[in-house]
Amino acid sequence: MKILVTGGLGFIGSHTVVELQNEGYEVIIVDNLSNTSLSVLDGIQNITGKVPAFEKLDLREKEKVQEFFKRHHDISGVIHFAASKAVGESVENPLLYYENNINALVYVLQELQQKQEANFIFSSSCTVYGQAETMPITENASIQTAMSPYGNTKQIGEEIITDTAKVTNINAILLRYFNPIGAHPSTEIGELPIGVPQNLVPFITQTGFGLRKELAVYGDDYPTPDGTAVRDYIHVVDLAKAHVIALQRLLNKKNTAKVETFNLGTGTGSSVLEVIHSFEKVSGKKLPYKIVGRREGDITSAYANTDKANDVLGWKAQSTLEEAMASAWKWEQKIRS
Ligand code: UD1
């Protein structure tokens, strides 16, 4: 069965391609290479022994999207990762985010709605919950006004898919990720942040390696046990496996609604200081850091209630924070060697 993975050379996309190939799916990747490199294809091949088909394609180019689907009329499912994901950049350049994350989504759905049947998995984010009132966060928690254009594109994306699925043959699963971290245990693929990382874990591993002087911890006056903000850090391989299970649910027609939504996290919240200590334990290095003021737009706490994913998908994250940090550290050392 042929599965299209958009953004398949990115961080989560590439790990998902590996899991799809391991399950015997034929994968075709499209990616515009805006935030990744072609060498990721070699990494995937080194792990699975199979080269996925790849086409460089920018999904904002509507005619090219139409032409792509004409050539590939036998696609059984689409996992749509292709999107921009930097919160700060989205505030600076909102139209880039609306064009990249919304136009591209619309063009892909326009092609899928012409099919007899289409299965669609969407990369969404726990950012749609904003600061939820109760922890852990269930899928029924209310959606809050987005704090950035990036977050807004995820909310609007979910709405576009829901409206479209109601009146077409498209079945969809919306996957709301918490904080994906880590790398494949083979160290063949991992995260490749361009420039100064905005996310915590790549900043930590780069600092541990000596590329950055020190980590700035954004705030220690949050109402949390140690004062630093709490998140649900999930190993990217666990996250990737959930995509395959969600896709199989659609392919096997096990879904009970046209659109289903699942939180993907571990169910455990970790503070910034706990992440630092975990890094120190697995690396044997002391991490230089200083406490600074809060980062604008940051929330206090977000971790997932994973009951729905556990019960309905039969999926549960397996890796601990330490295992994920160890894989992130191994990856950092490999790409700098
Ligand atoms: C947020 C969004 C997520 C989005 C991601 C993209 C939420 C709940 N999540 O993740 O949907 O995909 O941005 O960037 O809105 N930190 C430091 N120092 C640093 C970097 C981070 O202390 O140098 C702290 C942050 O304040 C935060 C935690 O580490 O408390 C995690 O930060 P980060 O990795 O950027 O992810 P989120 O902000 O949770």
220: containing domain = 200-230+267-336
In a shared domain, residues 76 and 44: yes
In a shared domain, residues 242 and 271: no
Establish if 220 belongs to a structural domain: yes
In a shared domain, residues 127 and 216: no
Establish if 187 belongs to a structural domain: no
Q: What is the CATH number of the domain that holds 216?
A: 3.90.25.10
In angstroms, the CA 5 to CA 3 distance is: 6
3-state secondary structure the chain: CEEEEECCCCHHHHHHHHHHHHCCCEEEEEECCCCCCCHHHHHHHHHHCCCCEEEECCCCCHHHHHHHHHHCCCEEEEEECCCCCCHHHHHHCHHHHHHHHHHHHHHHHHHHCCCCCEEEEEEEEHHHHCCCCCCCECCCCCCCCCCCHHHHHHHHHHHHHHHHHHHCCEEEEEEEECEEECCCCCCCCCCCCCCCCCCHHHHHHHHHHCCCCCEEEECCCCCCCCCCCEECEEEHHHHHHHHHHHHHHHHCCCCCCCEEEEEECCCCCEEHHHHHHHHHHHHCCCCCEEEECCCCCCCCEECECCHHHHHHHCCCCCCCHHHHHHHHHHHHHHHHC
Measured from the CA of 129, which atom of ligand 1 is nearest? 8
In our burial notation (b when 16+ CB lie closer than 10 A, e otherwise), range 96-105 reads ebbebbbebb
In a shared domain, residues 305 and 257: no
Establish if 192 belongs to a structural domain: no
Catalytic residue chosen out of the listed positions 25, 107, 129, 150: 150
Q: What is the pLDDT along the chain (337 residues), one digit of tens a residue?
A: 999 999 999 999 999 999 999 999 999 999 999 999 999 999 999 999 999 999 999 999 999 999 999 999 999 999 999 999 999 999 999 999 999 999 999 999 999 999 999 999 999 999 999 999 999 999 999 999 999 999 999 999 999 999 999 999 999 999 999 999 999 999 999 999 989 999 999 999 999 999 999 999 999 999 999 999 999 999 999 999 999 999 999 999 999 999 999 999 999 999 999 999 999 999 999 999 999 999 999 999 999 999 999 999 999 999 999 999 999 999 999 999 8
Q: Is 24 exposed, middle or buried (0-12, 13-18, 19+ CB in 10 A)?
A: exposed
Establish if 28 belongs to a structural domain: yes
* Domain final residue, candidates 243, 264, 285: 264
Residue nearest ligand 1's atom 34 by CA: 199
Instruction: Say what the pLDDT of residue 337 is.
Output: 86
In a shared domain, residues 117 and 169: yes
Establish if 195 belongs to a structural domain: no
Establish if 189 belongs to a structural domain: no
Cα 109 to averaged position of ligand 1 atoms, centre (Å): 30
Question: What is the number of domains present in the chain?
Answer: 2
Q: What is the CATH number of the domain that holds 132?
A: 3.40.50.720
Residue whose tokens read 């950012």 = 127
Residue nearest ligand 1's atom 31 by CA: 200
In a shared domain, residues 82 and 32: yes
In a shared domain, residues 159 and 73: yes
Cα 29 to averaged position of ligand 1 atoms, centre (Å): 28
In a shared domain, residues 218 and 251: no
Task: Look at the pTM and tell me if it is higher than 0.95.
Answer: yes
In a shared domain, residues 176 and 239: yes
In a shared domain, residues 171 and 215: no
Establish if 224 belongs to a structural domain: yes
* Domain final residue, candidates 264, 286, 314: 264
Establish if 39 belongs to a structural domain: yes
In a shared domain, residues 274 and 244: no
* Domain final residue, candidates 216, 245, 264: 264
What residues does ligand 1 touch, defined as CB less than 6 Å away? 85-87, 125-127, 179, 198-200, 203, 215-218, 229, 231, 272, 295, 298-299, 302
In a shared domain, residues 87 and 212: no
